[in-house]
């Protein structure tokens, strides 16, 4: 607990450190103790509200933000936080009023705050409104890679692929180490059939930069196709290893969250609201996966047997022809095959039919015709 003789700024700093470490219960305890000594410190109410928001306690967050604004009606962090909370409880019009109020008060050039408003809108599906705030942030900070990347994500969601590509490329011109933007751009280019350009961006990343299987699969496929690499080429080894790691973790967004949630480069925990934005981007990647898995495909085994249909239909046909298999679900069959080949050092994901077929192709067991 804070020393009762500390000033509100010291209490807020102590709680902020706990918040950054993901210790939300402890942060709330510190802030409540501080508010007993300094009940009119708006900053402490704001800190308490964000801690509740991180724990998805929206009613408590709403109350704390309102209490902060009752003390200081122009507190910009409280306005944006209240807007986020209102979005969560289903009041988008009132939320937008809070965000607009922040701009009216003259905080156009507060880069983080304006992006925070835009991200909150993006997460809740108000993509066109989010674009406006991303544009405001970009206009105030022309050198902001993050603002350009967010515009790219939003324009892609709106179906404006050419504009999205342009913004993502600009983001990378401003910051070549913006990995989320680079991986997203690589996937977008792959979906457009610009395979060499996609491979260029994938190759600027390292295996551990990836928290989703999609781009890793595509990189392996493109390397084998464009560079004529064999499945056991040493150049592919770190990527197939990363693929196996991701396959073991499963395909759920929650598990992908855990991969990136622990620490950032500076040793602090990512803001849970930023993680929530990233989960939205992962859902965008999942949408890319679904688009790539729709329609009809054709594969050929090393023995010359061809199968065609959707990914699921292809695996069903493979299961029917596999004499080593008895009875069981499609998932059971894929896991059976994956275990069988794991003994030979071949990693084949069994999370879904597309991953299974692409993994079999990457291992040289199948050839994908289309």
For residue 350, tell me if it sits in a domain.
yes
- Residue 361 shares a structural domain with residue 348: yes
User: Residue 273: its pLDDT value, please?
Assistant: 54
Q: Residue 22 CA to chain centroid, in angstroms?
A: 19
Specify whether 301 is located in the same domain as 290: no
Give domain status of residue 310, yes or no: yes
Q: Are 218 and 236 found together in one domain?
A: yes
Name the E strands within 205-334.
297-301, 306-309
Q: What does the angle CA 216 – CA 174 – CA 259 come to, to the nearest 5 degrees?
A: 35
Those residues with Cβ within 8 angstroms of residue 178's Cβ, 6 or more apart along the chain or in another chain: 145, 146, 149, 171, 172
CATH of the domain at 228: 1.25.40
Is 290 domain-assigned?
A: yes
Task: State the CB neighbour count (10 A cutoff) for residue 67.
Answer: 19
Q: Domain count of the chain? A: 2
In a shared domain, residues 247 and 341: no
CA pair distance 276, 273, nearest whole angstrom: 5
Looking at the structure, tell me whether residues 194 and 284 fall in a common domain: yes
Residues 285 and 221 in one domain: yes
Q: Which residues, in sequence order, are CB contacts of 171 under 8 Å at separation 6+?
A: 145, 146, 148, 149, 152, 178, 181
Confirm if 269 and 263 have CB atoms less than 8 A apart.
yes
How high is the pLDDT of residue 303?
74
Considering the domain architecture, whether residues 245 and 333 belong to the same structural domain is answered as no
| Domain, as residue range, for 231 | 177-260+270-294
Q: Report pLDDT for 5.
A: 44
Residues 304 and 355 in one domain: yes
At 260 the pLDDT is 43
- Residues 324, 288 share a domain: no
Closest Cα to residue 174, out of 136, 212, 196, 145? 145
Q: Which of 78, 77, 31 is nearest to 51 (CA)?
A: 31
| Domain final position from 278, 294, 310 | 294
Hey, is 109 helix, strand or coil?
A: coil
Q: What is the pTM of this model?
A: 0.70
In a domain, 143, yes or no: no
pLDDT tens, the chain, 370 aa long: 445 547 899 998 998 999 999 999 999 999 999 999 999 999 999 999 999 999 999 999 999 999 999 999 999 999 999 999 999 999 999 999 999 999 999 999 999 999 999 999 999 999 999 999 999 999 999 999 999 999 999 999 999 999 999 999 999 999 999 999 999 999 999 888 898 999 999 999 999 999 888 889 889 888 888 888 887 889 999 998 998 888 777 544 444 444 444 444 444 444 555 555 555 565 555 555 544 445 578 888 877 777 878 888 888 888 877 777 766 777 888 888 888 877 677 778 877 888 888 888 887 888 887 7
Residue 229 lies in a domain: yes
Distance CA 211, CA 275 (A): 12
Q: Which residue has the tokens 């069994």?
A: 350
């Amino acid at each position: 607990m804070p020393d009762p003789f500390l000033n509100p700024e010291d209490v807020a700093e102590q709680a902020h450190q706990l918040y950054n470490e993901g210790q939300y219960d402890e942060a709330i305890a510190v802030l409540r103790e501080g508010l007993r000594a300094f009940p009119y410190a708006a900053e402490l109410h704001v800190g308490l509200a964000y801690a509740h928001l991180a724990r998805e306690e929206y009613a408590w967050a709403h109350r704390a933000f309102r209490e902060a604004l009752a003390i200081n009606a122009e507190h910009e962090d409280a306005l944006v936080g209240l807007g986020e909370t209102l979005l969560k409880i289903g009041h988008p019009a009132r939320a937008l009023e809070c965000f607009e109020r922040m701009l009216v008060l003259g905080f156009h050039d507060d880069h983080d705050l304006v992006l925070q408003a835009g991200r909150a809108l993006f997460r809740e599906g108000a993509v066109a409104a989010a674009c406006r705030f991303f544009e405001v942030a970009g206009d105030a900070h022309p050198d902001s890679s993050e603002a350009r990347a967010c515009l790219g994500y939003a324009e892609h969601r709106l179906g404006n692929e050419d504009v999205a590509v342009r913004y993502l490329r600009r983001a990378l011109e401003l910051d070549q180490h913006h990995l989320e933007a680079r991986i997203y751009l690589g996937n977008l280019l792959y979906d457009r059939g610009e395979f060499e350009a996609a491979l260029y961006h994938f190759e600027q990343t390292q295996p551990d930069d990836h928290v989703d299987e999609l781009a890793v699969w595509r990189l392996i496929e493109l390397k084998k196709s464009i560079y004529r690499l064999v499945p056991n080429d040493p150049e592919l080894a770190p990527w197939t290893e990363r693929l196996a790691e991701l396959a073991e973790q499963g395909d759920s967004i929650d598990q992908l969250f855990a991969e990136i949630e622990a620490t950032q480069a500076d040793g602090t925990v990512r803001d849970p609201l930023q993680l929530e934005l990233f989960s939205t981007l992962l859902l965008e990647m999942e949408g890319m996966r679904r688009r790539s898995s729709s329609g009809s495909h054709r594969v050929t085994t090393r023995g010359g047997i061809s199968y065609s249909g959707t990914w699921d239909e292809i695996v069903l046909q493979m299961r029917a022809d596999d004499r080593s298999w008895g009875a069981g679900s499609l998932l059971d069959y894929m896991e059976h095959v994956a275990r069988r080949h794991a003994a030979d050092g071949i990693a084949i994901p069994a999370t879904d039919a597309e991953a299974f077929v692409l993994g079999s192709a990457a291992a040289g067991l199948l050839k994908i015709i289309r």
